[in-house]
Amino acid sequence: VGPAGSGKTYLAVAVAVASLKQERIRRIVLVRPAVEAGESLGYLPGDMQAKINPYLRPLFDALREMIEPEQLRRYTELDLIEVAPLAYMRGRTLNDAFVILDEAQNTTVSQMKMFLTRMGRGSKIVVSGDITQVDLPPTVPSGMIDALRRLQGIEGLTQITLSEGDIVRHKLVRDIVRAYDEGPRERRSRTR
C-alpha cells in the first residue's frame, strides 16, 4: 500500500523476477482489474491480450527494466510470465507462481476474496495499490480497503505501507501527493 510513485509495482515485479530467475517459482502471473480512471476507452479491437494490454502497461514497463526484450518475449511465449484478467481468475488454483494484483484498490470486495483464494501451494501473492486513488463508483466499497481491515492479524500475511517519503518519481510528485492528501487549499484573494 502506498502513494503514487512510491515503487509499489516496481518492487513487486523485482521480487517476482528474482524469484523466477532463482527458480523459487515456475511462473509470474500479472493481474489487474479493468477499471478505467474516470474515462472510458470504449470497445477495444483485438484478442484478449490486446484488450487488457493497456491495463497492464505499468507492469510491463517494470519488467522491461529488469529483463532483456528477447528474454521477456520468450518468457511470455512460454507462459513463464502470464497475463490474467481478474475477471477470468475464478476457478483457478495458482501453484508455484508469483502472482501480482496491481491497482488492487479498484477491486470489489467479492473480486478481492475471489483473487486471494486462488493461491495454491508454493505460491506468493502480492497485492498492491493506492487507497487514495479508488476509481470505483462511490457506492462500491474497495476490496483492498476491506481486505486491509478484515485480514489484519492473519498469520502468513504481511502488510507493507510505503509513504510519501518513498516516492521515487519526479520530485514534484511528492508535493502533488502531499497537496491532494491535505485537501483543497482555500483561495486567498489579493487586495491591493
- What pLDDT is recorded for position 142? 98
Q: Are 31 and 84 in contact (CB under 8 A)?
A: yes
Domain count, the chain: 1
Taking 50 as the threshold, does the pLDDT of residue 40 lie above it?
no
In a domain, 130, yes or no: yes
User: Higher-confidence residue: 42 or 140?
Assistant: 140
Residue 188 lies in a domain: no
Report pLDDT digits (tens) over 142-170.
Answer: 999 999 999 999 999 999 999 888 888 88
Q: What is the CATH number of the domain that holds 178?
A: 3.40.50.300
Residue 187 lies in a domain: no
Per-residue pLDDT averaged across 74-100, rounded?
93
Please report whether residue 190 resides in a domain.
no
Q: For residue 38, what is its C-alpha cell?
A: 474516470
Q: pLDDT higher for 7 or 34? A: 7
**Order of strands across the sheet with 27-31?**
81-83, 27-31, 97-101, 124-127
Q: Is residue 88 part of a domain?
A: yes
Q: Which domain holds residue 178?
A: 8-182
The cell numbers describing 107, all together, are 477491486
pLDDT of residue 183: 74
Over residues 72-86, mean pLDDT:
92
| For residues 25-36, average pLDDT | 87
Does any domain span residue 189?
A: no
Angstrom CA distances, 85 to 48, 88, 115, stand at: 9, 6, 11
Question: Considering the domain boundaries, does residue 162 fall inside one?
Answer: yes
- Helix extents (H) in the chain: 8-21, 48-66, 69-77, 109-116, 143-150, 171-182
Instruction: Show the cell assigned to 165.
Output: 517519503
